[in-house]
Protein backbone atom coordinates (compact mmCIF):
# COMPACT_ATOMS: atom_id res chain seq x y z
CA UNK A 1 0.00 0.00 0.00
CA UNK A 2 1.27 3.47 -0.87
CA UNK A 3 0.03 6.42 1.18
CA UNK A 4 0.82 10.00 0.18
CA UNK A 5 -0.15 12.97 2.34
CA UNK A 6 0.57 16.54 1.22
CA UNK A 7 2.96 15.23 -1.42
CA UNK A 8 5.03 13.18 1.06
CA UNK A 9 5.21 9.39 1.09
CA UNK A 10 3.90 8.33 4.50
CA UNK A 11 3.56 4.62 3.69
CA UNK A 12 6.19 3.54 6.17
CA UNK A 13 4.83 5.24 9.31
CA UNK A 14 1.11 5.94 8.86
CA UNK A 15 0.59 3.12 6.36
CA UNK A 16 1.95 0.54 8.80
CA UNK A 17 -0.29 1.86 11.57
CA UNK A 18 -3.35 1.70 9.31
CA UNK A 19 -2.53 -1.87 8.25
CA UNK A 20 -2.20 -2.96 11.92
CA UNK A 21 -5.55 -1.36 12.76
CA UNK A 22 -7.22 -2.94 9.73
CA UNK A 23 -5.89 -6.41 10.67
CA UNK A 24 -7.14 -5.96 14.24
CA UNK A 25 -10.65 -5.07 13.00
CA UNK A 26 -10.73 -7.55 10.13
CA UNK A 27 -14.14 -9.19 9.93
CA UNK A 28 -15.73 -6.57 12.19
CA UNK A 29 -15.84 -3.76 9.66
CA UNK A 30 -19.21 -2.26 8.86
CA UNK A 31 -21.27 -3.42 5.88
CA UNK A 32 -21.98 0.25 5.24
CA UNK A 33 -21.01 1.70 1.88
CA UNK A 34 -21.25 5.22 0.42
CA UNK A 35 -24.45 4.20 -1.39
CA UNK A 36 -26.07 3.55 1.98
CA UNK A 37 -26.74 7.19 2.73
CA UNK A 38 -29.97 8.71 4.03
CA UNK A 39 -29.97 10.68 0.78
CA UNK A 40 -30.88 7.45 -1.02
CA UNK A 41 -34.35 7.73 0.56
CA UNK A 42 -35.23 10.58 -1.82
CA UNK A 43 -34.92 8.16 -4.75
CA UNK A 44 -37.76 5.98 -3.45
CA UNK A 45 -40.43 5.21 -6.02
CA UNK A 46 -43.27 4.68 -3.55
CA UNK A 47 -44.05 4.17 0.13
CA UNK A 48 -43.08 0.51 0.10
CA UNK A 49 -39.74 1.25 -1.57
CA UNK A 50 -39.13 4.03 0.97
CA UNK A 51 -39.84 1.66 3.87
CA UNK A 52 -37.56 -0.99 2.35
CA UNK A 53 -34.71 1.48 2.02
CA UNK A 54 -35.32 2.95 5.47
CA UNK A 55 -35.40 -0.47 7.17
CA UNK A 56 -32.18 -1.46 5.39
CA UNK A 57 -30.42 1.72 6.51
CA UNK A 58 -31.65 1.26 10.07
CA UNK A 59 -30.39 -2.34 10.14
CA UNK A 60 -26.98 -1.22 8.90
CA UNK A 61 -26.64 1.59 11.40
CA UNK A 62 -28.87 0.78 14.36
CA UNK A 63 -26.19 -0.08 16.91
CA UNK A 64 -24.49 2.69 18.84
CA UNK A 65 -20.94 1.55 19.49
CA UNK A 66 -19.42 1.88 22.94
CA UNK A 67 -16.00 0.51 22.03
CA UNK A 68 -12.90 2.31 23.22
CA UNK A 69 -11.16 4.56 20.75
CA UNK A 70 -7.85 6.38 20.63
CA UNK A 71 -8.31 9.81 22.17
CA UNK A 72 -7.12 12.54 19.80
CA UNK A 73 -4.67 15.09 21.08
CA UNK A 74 -2.31 17.83 20.09
CA UNK A 75 1.45 17.45 20.11
CA UNK A 76 3.55 18.60 23.01
CA UNK A 77 3.37 18.34 26.79
CA UNK A 78 0.05 20.19 27.06
CA UNK A 79 -1.48 17.95 24.37
CA UNK A 80 -0.23 14.82 26.10
CA UNK A 81 -1.63 15.97 29.44
CA UNK A 82 -4.98 16.86 27.87
CA UNK A 83 -5.13 13.48 26.08
CA UNK A 84 -4.56 11.67 29.40
CA UNK A 85 -7.24 13.80 31.07
CA UNK A 86 -9.73 13.02 28.27
CA UNK A 87 -8.93 9.30 28.56
CA UNK A 88 -9.52 9.43 32.32
CA UNK A 89 -12.82 11.28 31.89
CA UNK A 90 -13.95 8.77 29.25
CA UNK A 91 -13.27 5.86 31.63
CA UNK A 92 -15.03 7.73 34.42
CA UNK A 93 -18.16 8.50 32.37
CA UNK A 94 -18.28 5.42 30.17
CA UNK A 95 -20.89 3.67 32.31
CA UNK A 96 -23.32 6.53 31.58
CA UNK A 97 -22.54 6.36 27.88
CA UNK A 98 -23.09 2.58 27.86
CA UNK A 99 -26.46 3.00 29.58
CA UNK A 100 -27.62 5.64 27.11
CA UNK A 101 -26.30 3.63 24.15
CA UNK A 102 -28.24 0.57 25.35
CA UNK A 103 -31.43 2.63 25.53
CA UNK A 104 -30.82 4.11 22.08
CA UNK A 105 -30.15 0.66 20.59
CA UNK A 106 -33.44 -0.59 22.10
CA UNK A 107 -35.33 2.33 20.57
CA UNK A 108 -33.66 1.73 17.20
CA UNK A 109 -34.72 -1.94 17.29
CA UNK A 110 -38.31 -0.89 17.98
CA UNK A 111 -38.27 1.56 15.06
CA UNK A 112 -36.93 -1.13 12.73
CA UNK A 113 -39.62 -3.57 13.90
CA UNK A 114 -42.31 -0.94 13.36
CA UNK A 115 -41.03 -0.24 9.84
CA UNK A 116 -41.03 -3.99 9.07
CA UNK A 117 -44.59 -4.28 10.40
CA UNK A 118 -45.74 -1.33 8.30
CA UNK A 119 -44.07 -2.81 5.23
CA UNK A 120 -45.88 -6.13 5.75
CA UNK A 121 -49.15 -4.32 6.41
CA UNK A 122 -48.85 -2.27 3.21
CA UNK A 123 -48.05 -5.39 1.19
CA UNK A 124 -51.11 -7.14 2.68
CA UNK A 125 -53.37 -4.16 1.92
CA UNK A 126 -52.09 -3.99 -1.67
CA UNK A 127 -52.84 -7.69 -2.07
CA UNK A 128 -56.37 -7.20 -0.70
CA UNK A 129 -56.98 -4.29 -3.08
CA UNK A 130 -55.85 -6.38 -6.05
CA UNK A 131 -58.17 -9.19 -4.95
CA UNK A 132 -61.11 -6.79 -4.54
CA UNK A 133 -60.45 -5.30 -7.98
CA UNK A 134 -60.33 -8.78 -9.50
CA UNK A 135 -63.60 -9.70 -7.73
CA UNK A 136 -65.24 -6.48 -8.92
CA UNK A 137 -64.08 -7.10 -12.50
CA UNK A 138 -65.46 -10.64 -12.41
CA UNK A 139 -68.80 -9.38 -11.06
CA UNK A 140 -69.01 -6.79 -13.81
CA UNK A 141 -68.27 -9.50 -16.36
CA UNK A 142 -71.15 -11.64 -15.07
CA UNK A 143 -73.65 -8.77 -15.38
CA UNK A 144 -73.02 -8.48 -19.13
CA UNK A 145 -74.76 -11.03 -21.37
pLDDT classification of 109: cutoffs 50, 70, 90: confident
Mean pLDDT of 47-73: 75
What is the rounded distance in angstroms from the CA atom of residue 114 to the CA atom of residue 36?
Answer: 20
Res. 127: pLDDT tops 90: yes
> In the predicted model, what is the mean pLDDT of the chain?
80
What is the rounded distance in angstroms from the CA atom of residue 33 to the CA atom of residue 57?
Answer: 10
What is the rounded distance in angstroms from the CA atom of residue 103 to the CA atom of residue 123?
Answer: 31
pLDDT, tens digit, 9 for 90 and up, residues 9-32? 887 877 777 777 777 665 544 555
Res. 71: pLDDT tops 80: no
pLDDT at 33: 66
pLDDT at 125: 92
Mean pLDDT of 72-99: 85
Report yes or no: 33 and 42 within 8 Å, Cβ to Cβ. Answer: no
Residue 26: C-alpha distances to residues 33, 61, 72 (Å): 16, 18, 23
CA angle 102, 27, 33 (to 5 degrees): 75
CA angle 122, 125, 127 (to 5 degrees): 110
Q: At what angle do helices 47-61 and 77-143 cross, to 10 degrees?
A: 150
pLDDT classification of 136: cutoffs 50, 70, 90: very high
Report yes or no: 105 and 62 within 8 Å, Cβ to Cβ. Answer: yes
What is the rounded distance in angstroms from the CA atom of residue 119 to the CA atom of residue 8?
Answer: 52
Kindly report the number of other CB atoms within 10 A of residue 115's CB atom: 19
Amino acid sequence: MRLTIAGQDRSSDIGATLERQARRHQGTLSRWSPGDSALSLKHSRNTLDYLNRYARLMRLRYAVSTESFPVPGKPGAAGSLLRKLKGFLWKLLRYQHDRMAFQQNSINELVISAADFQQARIADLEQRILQLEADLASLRGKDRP
